[in-house]
Amino acid sequence: MTLAACGVRPTPILTGGDAPVISSHELTVFLVSAGRDALVRRTRTYSGTVDTATAINLLVAGLTEEEKKLGLVTEVPASSERVYAISNVIVLPEAMLELSRWAQFQLYCTAVASRAKVEGVPATGIECP
């Protein structure tokens, strides 16, 4: 066996920066039960930076496969448009101008739970499951 070198000299160990960190958060969304008679609290995992509108954007994105198998439904119209939070106001896409009672409850409870989680604001006196 023959070994040959190409003239590249050894270098010292090169250190890099710290490994990237992905923050994972558990956010709460509210869906409607299969019987359409109650809200159901669901926890979804989200990786990345979160703000008050993140959970609502997860809700607007639609049901997960597991939620569909459980027979849960949503009355919040699915949309590819993002929801924005400005101070204490949630700005919804124009397609959501007319919402059913259940959709309004879903958005309200999801927003309250998200704000409590992200901003540390207590959700006292709120009627959500």
Per-residue pLDDT tens over the stretch 42-52: 999 988 888 87
Average pLDDT of the chain?
83
Residue 13 resides in a domain:
no
> What is the number of structural domains in the chain?
1
**Residue 1 within a domain:** no
Inside any domain, residue 129: no
In this model, does residue 20 exceed pLDDT 70?
no
Helix (H) or strand (E) holding 29: strand 24-32
Structural tokens at position 106: 């879903």
From residue 33, alpha-carbon distances to 21, 41, 45, 56, 112 in Å are: 36, 10, 20, 18, 19
Q: Which domain holds residue 43?
A: 24-119
Residue 127 lies in a domain: no
Instruction: Report the pLDDT value the prediction gives residue 87, as an integer from 0 to 100.
Output: 74
Task: Please state the rounded mean pLDDT for residues 11-29.
Answer: 69
* Confidence check: pLDDT of 15 > 60: yes
Mean per-residue pLDDT, 55-61? 92
Judged against a pLDDT cut of 60, whether residue 126 lies above it is answered with yes
